[in-house]
Structure 1
Amino acid sequence: MLDSLSNYSKYIATVVGILFVVFCAVTAIVTPTSAVAVDTADMVRDERVGTQHTVSVTLTDLYEEPPLESWTLTGSTALVDVTWTIIQYDQTGAQIDQQSYDGQRLTGTRIAAVDGTNRVSVRVAGTIPRIESFSYDPKQSFRVVSLTQTRTGGSSSVIDIWTATHSTEQSASAREELTTARETVSTVDSDRAKQTIQNAIDAYNGGEFALATRLASEAEEAAKQAQQSNQMFQYVLYALSGIVVIGGASGIVYWRRQQRTEDKL
């Protein structure tokens, strides 16, 4: 009995030890979120490849959690032909510094209380990137902007990450056809229509938009035909039910008449 209790205690201790190690490892891997506040964020949502846009973020509560006197603002974007503009303001709202950088990575801008910086505006101007891999569901997306607070000593925390979807004229048109066809197919039980719409989605994911559009149209037509067949079948059932009811009523009337004739005899 004592041996069993001893073994059980060792087992519990081992499990607790393993869980503690896992917890520490996960804690070390996960990047903490910064307490710098995002006051406003003007972002793109769903844009065409190749179009130019400017997004902006305003940061406040720059030194509160954890308490800091200074830190470095870094960032990255998937936009191309990029220009970053970092503007710093004091407590009165007056601009005290402005710096511009080119490239997809913002390597570092110093934010310091001693400089009087109370609010920071980040503007990123660039072009929506081309699509490396198309996806119908979920729709293909890209990183618009990510901002990070890096502290003295090298530790860092993510302020925020913004993403958006993007498309070409051809992919947008094909997606619209697919969405309409899927809605129609979802209303009927047709294996042919379901398989065809799946083939259309596969074609879309492969960047074959003309094929995807054609298959979506075929799937929608197959769904409509199945719907018509179902309606026709229901009409036939209604008709047969009517015949049965009429036939049954006629039989009852005939039987009653026969009964009356037999009673008279």
Structure 2
Amino acid sequence: MTKTNWSRFSKLALALVVLLSALAGQAGAVSVASDDVPDEAQVGSQVTASVTLEELYRSPQLESWTLAGQTDLEDVTWTVAYYDQTGARVDQQSFDGQNFSGAQIATADGTSEVEVTVTGIVPEVESFSYDPAQTFTIISLDQTREGGSSNDIDSWTVHHYTEESAAARDELDSAQAAIQRASGANTQQPQQTFNNAVEAFNGEEFNLATNLANEAETNANQARQSSQTTQLLIYAAGGLLVVALIVGGFLYWRSQQTSYDKLG
């Protein structure tokens, strides 16, 4: 085998190993049957989220494993409920704290589905962001196998906000919509004001962000109205020109007809 052929064979073999490893990882993965997670939550409020896992033993050799979870919620309580194939609950465990581990999943126990529920207080926002909106992890679940190897099952994030940031975001959304509606008009100034409002929001200056957003919306609406007025004037001028051409043409035709009559 030549050096070139050996190199190609090595690359093919390596690609095959990577593919088989990926497929093996997928074969042992846990499936998420359903989830009930809020889209957003106010800082300091109590929220609850739940996730149901199924297809717990995709690999024939995987008869048991350990479930672990993590959350950014505070004052946390976890509940892990185990269900058999009939949907009957066969066991339940509770854990406290932002992290838990030790929830044993085993075929010998008849477990077919697992429901994980977490309840806690929404944490403070570390860094505000308009786009993308700031989020926190409400649930993150991991599967740990015998021997210590583990893989992520899935994680869920939630947009969290304060009363002031929510009000400022509403104004920013309204201003952005006004600028989009004014498409075709000169929105350079409203857009710049909007950008300044976003910077103020990201800097937690929500009153300033609100004022700038209102200014951007007003300017965008004015630009849109000005553009519409200009268009109407152009249409009106065009209409008058057409009428003038028609009238002028008619008068010219009449004058020509009168000249022919006199000659006749």
Same topology, TM > 0.5? yes
Specify the code of the residue in structure 2 equivalent to 1:202.
E
Alignment partners' CA distance in 2, 1:90 and 1:71: 16
Matching residue of 1:110: 104
* Structure 1 residue 185: Cα displacement: 0.8
Match among 185, 192, 196 for residue 195 of structure 1: 192
Matching residue of 2:45: 51
TM score, norm. by length of structure 1 = 0.81
Matching residue of 1:244: 241
* Structure 1 residue 57: Cα displacement: 2.6
Match among 183, 192, 216 for residue 177 of structure 2: 183
Specify the code of the residue in structure 2 equivalent to 1:157.
N
1:254 aligned onto 2:248: no
Contact 2:41 2:47 in 1 (8 A): no
Specify the code of the residue in structure 1 equivalent to 2:162.
T
Match among 29, 38, 52 for residue 35 of structure 1: 29
TM score, norm. by length of structure 2 = 0.81
Match among 145, 149, 157 for residue 151 of structure 1: 145
- Cα RMSD for the two superposed structures: 3.1
Alignment partners' CA distance in 1, 2:248 and 2:38: 74
Matching residue of 2:134: 140
Contact 2:138 2:158 in 1 (8 A): yes
* Structure 1 residue 215: Cα displacement: 1.4
Match among 112, 116, 125 for residue 131 of structure 1: 125
C-alpha change, 1:20 and 1:212, in structure 2 (3 Å) is farther
Give the unaligned 5+ runs of structure 2. none
* Structure 1 residue 140: Cα displacement: 1.8
C-alpha change, 1:13 and 1:195, in structure 2 (3 Å) is farther
Give secondary structure in 2 for the equivalent of 1:241.
helix
Give secondary structure in 2 for the equivalent of 1:221.
helix
C-alpha change, 1:207 and 1:24, in structure 2 (3 Å) is farther
Alignment partners' CA distance in 1, 2:23 and 2:213: 42
Counting aligned pairs with the same residue, the percent is 47
Alignment partners' CA distance in 1, 2:16 and 2:169: 43
* Structure 1 residue 155: Cα displacement: 1.6
* Structure 1 residue 18: Cα displacement: 5.9
Give the unaligned 5+ runs of structure 1. 1-5
